[in-house]
Amino acid sequence: MALLPLCCNARFKPCCRSSSHYERRFHFVSRRSLRFSRSGDVSICSKRISHRLPPLKSSSSVNGFPLETNLEHFKEEHTVESVELRERIRKWIDFLRSVLPGGSWWSFSDEVEVKFMAKPVTVSRALGRMWQLIANDRLVIFAGFSTLIVAALSEISIPHYLTASIFSAQTREIAMFHTNRQQLLMICSVHLNFSGLRGFFFGIANMILVKRMRETLYSALLLQDISFFDGETVGDLTSRLGSDCHQVSRVIGNDLNLILRNVLQGTGALIYLLILSWPLGVCTLVICCSLAAVMTVYGLYQKKTAKMIQEFGASANEVAQETFSLMRTVRVYGTEKQEMKRYNHFLDKLADISLRQSAAYGIWNLTFNTLYHATQVIAVLVGGMYILAGHITAEKLTKFILYSEWLIYSTWWVGDNVSSLMQSVGASEKVFQLMDLMPSDQFTSKGMTLQKLVGRIEFVNVSFQYPSRSMVPVLQHINLSVHPGEVVALVGLSGSGKSSMVNLLLRLYEPTDGQILIDGAPLNELDIKWLRGKVGYVGQEPKLFRMDISSNIKYGCTRNIKQEDVEWAAKQAYAHDFITSLPDGYNTLVDNDLLSGGQKQRIAIARAILRDPTILILDEATSALDAESEHNVKGVLRSVRSDLSSRRTVIVIAHRLSTIQAADRIVVMDRGQILEMGSHNELLHKDGLYARLTRRQTDAVV
């Protein structure tokens, strides 16, 4: 029985230690004399031993050990074995008790580390939501259900005509036999055609539903605040979009379709049975009701397990996604086994739940078969007596047995499909909860646009902390004014809040206090889409999209862009030469891993330049460039400044202080506050943090 070790792991932690563990402890008691037997360190079992042992007396000896001590030792060993045996038996009894219906083995409550459980959704609400999604294509659904009704009713008539044909042949009623045979053929062909159509329409309905669900969920996720993504993992979200949406979509195409078919056929069979013989019909109905009661319990259990499987599946997915995306780090640090262990942790959880799910399925099957055979036994016993008494014919009893089988199988199918429906509803909870998330204010409110953006930026007493770490102040009372066309550099130690200032400027987060003004207008009152169209941004580790280089450079640019414009921007970013040296030039499909960090940065810089932004933000944009490229990109900054017609405000963050010496103003930050401000020479003269950092970098180079 493989069940026991699993159950021990899961539920009997205090008892599940290996026998060698106990052996070690008991030997410890016997060897170190009774002095230690009452210490707190020794378990209940060892205390029991200590009560039974008589005091030590030393008279004669064998092999240098006192004889009585050896005898005592033997007794102790013997007692230890019997205690161990009793302990094992107790464990087994506990286990058997726990696996009885309602026992603790079936419950998941305390051992599940589900990260995020959504609010429970009722079946009617889930169906209502699905109907909303598919309502525009209701014709397909109506066609599906209409063909289903015809197919189900024609199928349920088949046993009647089949039996009638056989018995009319047996009684040599030739005319009746031909009529029955023709009707049977007609009914069979109606059933075949309509069940084909039913499959077709429900297949289409399924496809439409899964597409709508994914569209709706994807767009709901895309419109969330950036802080939402701080709290969710990519693996979890892709799992909702992938397997969960697929599972939920089964509701209409599979579960409802089959439930309705079987309900129709079961009802038809029951009516027919009651007409044939009402006492036998009532017996079968009672059995079906018992089956339905067991099924309800089973269905609810399945719903619960489905939710857990969904959560743990998503967690496993998350681990795999993270490992694959960091494969180079994993390989270099040789942590394959560690990653396997992390993944296995969730696989074990899944296996544990699946084990209980399978056990529940086994019990359900056993119950079903018992009840099913009970109907046959009752039909043969009672029906046989009715035949002997001449109340019914053999033909009627045959029809009865066929239809009672049909009824019981329909009930079974309904149960199976209801439990599958419950699983789908379980999977729908998180999907619907994510779908119901309100889009970020930035997308719902229409802000104002300015006639012309000149690029004045003001931080007025801005304080900020990230929503995911609301206790840690990241920026405190920042006051900074950047003039149009000015190049301002932000420097400071790592974690001092430079990127956070840029995040606020891009309105990826909202300040917790104070406000940011752009050309004198509060940032949160401006149309953010319009503003972002006028801002160029190059981040610390630019990630490129899996499309060709031209498309990557054009990405997000709303103007009509020609190839010459793309090449111009690439030349400005000193990317043209390396792009043209690639076999497919600008048509090269970008794969993040096949380009160097510096090359990716140059493409990202070209993308920012192509937008011709009024405000250009460079966050460590040249960190991966070699000295020559960096010098050239600095040239781009200089040319931006000297070309009066295209003056733009530039905010640049750099750790390499040589990069920003030419900036108009350097802002030195420390622990979320502005410490110093001025030109390179002024700050050197001040001999503060900036001068210290510059000296350190110069020393490091020397």
Q: Contact residues for ligand ATP (CB under 6 A)?
A: 230, 466, 468-469, 474, 492, 494-500
Query: What is the closest distance, in whole angstroms, from the C-beta atom of residue 239 to ligand ATP in the complex?
Result: 22
Phi-psi sector, 656: left (phi>0), alpha (psi -120 to 50), beta: beta
Cβ proximity to ligand ATP, 571 vs 656, nearer residue: 656
Nearest to 418 by CA among 266, 198, 199: 266
H/E segment holding residue 678: strand 673-678
Query: What is the closest distance, in whole angstroms, from the C-beta atom of residue 660 to ligand ATP in the complex?
Result: 13
In whole angstroms, give the CA distance from residue 206 to residue 606: 44
Cβ proximity to ligand ATP, 120 vs 495, nearer residue: 495
In whole angstroms, give the CA distance from residue 395 to residue 168: 10
Query: What is the closest distance, in whole angstroms, from the C-beta atom of residue 542 to ligand ATP in the complex?
Result: 14
Cβ proximity to ligand ATP, 225 vs 255, nearer residue: 225
**Residue that has been written with the tokens 């007692």 in this structure:** 79
Largest separation between any pair of C-alpha atoms in the chain? 120
For the CA atoms of the chain, what is the radius of gyration? Answer: 38
H/E segment holding residue 147: helix 138-170
Cβ proximity to ligand ATP, 208 vs 660, nearer residue: 660
The answer to whether 553 touches 566, Cβ cutoff 8 Å, is yes
Query: What is the closest distance, in whole angstroms, from the C-beta atom of residue 671 to ligand ATP in the complex?
Result: 9
List residues bridging with 617 in a β-sheet.
Answer: 537, 651
Query: What is the closest distance, in whole angstroms, from the C-beta atom of residue 494 to ligand ATP in the complex?
Result: 3
DSSP strands (E only) in 18-157: 61-62, 65-66
Cβ proximity to ligand ATP, 231 vs 520, nearer residue: 231
Cβ proximity to ligand ATP, 447 vs 492, nearer residue: 492
For residue 126, count other CB atoms closer than 10 A to its CB.
22
Cβ proximity to ligand ATP, 426 vs 492, nearer residue: 492
For residue 654, count other CB atoms closer than 10 A to its CB.
22
Q: Give the phi and the psi of residue 485 in degrees, each rounded to 5.
A: 80, 0
Query: What is the closest distance, in whole angstroms, from the C-beta atom of residue 677 to ligand ATP in the complex?
Result: 16
Query: What is the closest distance, in whole angstroms, from the C-beta atom of residue 492 to ligand ATP in the complex?
Result: 6
In whole angstroms, give the CA distance from residue 361 to residue 367: 10
Torsion of CA 512, 514, 516, 519, to 10 degrees: 160
Query: What is the closest distance, in whole angstroms, from the C-beta atom of residue 495 to ligand ATP in the complex?
Result: 4
Cβ proximity to ligand ATP, 140 vs 482, nearer residue: 482
Cβ proximity to ligand ATP, 362 vs 495, nearer residue: 495
Cβ proximity to ligand ATP, 18 vs 494, nearer residue: 494
Residue 297: C-alpha distances to residues 60, 120, 284, 360 (Å): 69, 17, 21, 10
In whole angstroms, give the CA distance from residue 579 to residue 589: 11
DSSP reduced 3-state for 65: strand
Query: What is the closest distance, in whole angstroms, from the C-beta atom of residue 9 to ligand ATP in the complex?
Result: 36
Cβ proximity to ligand ATP, 79 vs 694, nearer residue: 694
Query: What is the closest distance, in whole angstroms, from the C-beta atom of residue 213 to ligand ATP in the complex?
Result: 29
Torsion of CA 44, 46, 48, 53, to 10 degrees: -160
Query: What is the closest distance, in whole angstroms, from the C-beta atom of residue 493 to ligand ATP in the complex?
Result: 7
Cβ proximity to ligand ATP, 215 vs 541, nearer residue: 541
Query: What is the closest distance, in whole angstroms, from the C-beta atom of residue 468 to ligand ATP in the complex?
Result: 5
At a CB cut-off of 8 Å and minimum separation 6, what does 231 contact?
Answer: 468
For residue 602, count other CB atoms closer than 10 A to its CB.
31
Nearest to 677 by CA among 666, 688, 686: 666
Nearest to 368 by CA among 314, 287, 454, 474: 287
List residues bridging with 66 in a β-sheet.
Answer: 61
